[in-house]
Structure 1
Amino acid sequence: MEWCKWVPDKCNIHAWRLETERIPTGEALRKRNVFLGDLTCPVCFSADESAEHLFNACFVAANVWNGVSSWCKISNFFAFSIKDLLDSHKVIPIPEKKKEVIHGIVIIVCWCLWRARNNWVLSRTPIRIDKIINEVKSLGYFWYSNRSKSKGIECRERCSFDFM
């Protein structure tokens, strides 16, 4: 997996664990002989909780991906696997600098979806799609403006995704 330089290591490690099927979803834990009872997705209750479902097929994830692609002014994300999702920046017909940003945003979305899922499972904090999208925008702006070579980005540029 290709790491993004401006995203914190914890997010890159999460994406790497996601790609190597090391995220402790219900299905992954069952494969390791850890039985928690119901394997249904705690977010949508429509399928077994797997990484593929949680980050691609779950209606919450689909709505977050649609909101993020609209914010980024790119076509909707369509991925059939986690690898497709993490490599989606490579096939989008945009300039290379924007591809680097999209790559980081994909990693941040995965991080935010996982955090929202964990907050629901561990403390019953309701999952709100608009809150996840706003968290992606805020973290993306903050990390890109402070950790990349492009320093000093205005907030109004972040809101319209014009910082590339």
Structure 2
Amino acid sequence: MGRIPTACALRHRNIQIVDSSCVFCGEVEESVDHLFTGCFLASRIWQHLSSWCKVQSFFAFSFKDLLDIHKFVGLSGKANDIFHGIIIIGCWCIWRARNLQKFQNKKARFEEISGEIKALGFLWAKNRAKIPSLDWDRWCKFF
């Protein structure tokens, strides 16, 4: 941990940051834990994904908790592996949305991030998780 270059991590490396507040909410300093678990946008995304994947709603207190959440949602086998992949893809999409907002002034939208997670997740599951029979309709229902 500590390698994701959030404003907090950069400040700890003695890199001057003009505005260290979260680009999504602007309420607190941008840290890994806040960006991926504490920010309202991230919380909303995780609640949406838990509903879509038909697992109990969860709240992660830290980034590490988020990466381990798949162990506690009651899925097994391939579904559990795919849920873990969706969490990782979700982190990537949140980070990407953060960078687009911070560096290109493209406002992050919940709908776009959620849609991107589902689309990238589908491509990953179909091609890398070796589920060639998976189609979009079945994916949208999470099997």
TM > 0.5 fold call: yes
Corresponding position of 2:93: 112
Q: CA deviation at 1:150?
A: 1.4
Aligned length: 143
Corresponding position of 2:110: 129
The higher-RCO structure (CA 8 Å, 6+ apart) is 1
User: What value does the CA root-mean-square deviation take over the aligned residues?
Assistant: 0.9
The answer as to 2:49 corresponding to 1:78 is no
TM-score by length of 2: 0.96
CA distance in 2, matches of 1:143, 1:130: 20
CA distance in 1, matches of 2:138, 2:2: 36
Corresponding position of 1:148: 129
Matches within 5 A, 1:1-20: 20=1
CA distance in 2, matches of 1:98, 1:77: 17
CA distance in 2, matches of 1:94, 1:111: 22
Instruction: Report the identity percentage.
Output: 45
CA distance in 2, matches of 1:65, 1:23: 20
The answer as to 2:13 corresponding to 1:35 is no
Q: 2:73 aligns with which of 92, 104, 109?
A: 92
Q: State the one-letter code of the partner of 1:135.
A: E
TM-score by length of 1: 0.84
Structure 1: runs of 5 or more not aligned: 1-19
Question: Aligned with 2:95: secondary structure?
Answer: helix
CA distance in 2, matches of 1:118, 1:35: 18
Q: CA deviation at 1:103?
A: 0.6
The answer as to 2:42 corresponding to 1:61 is yes
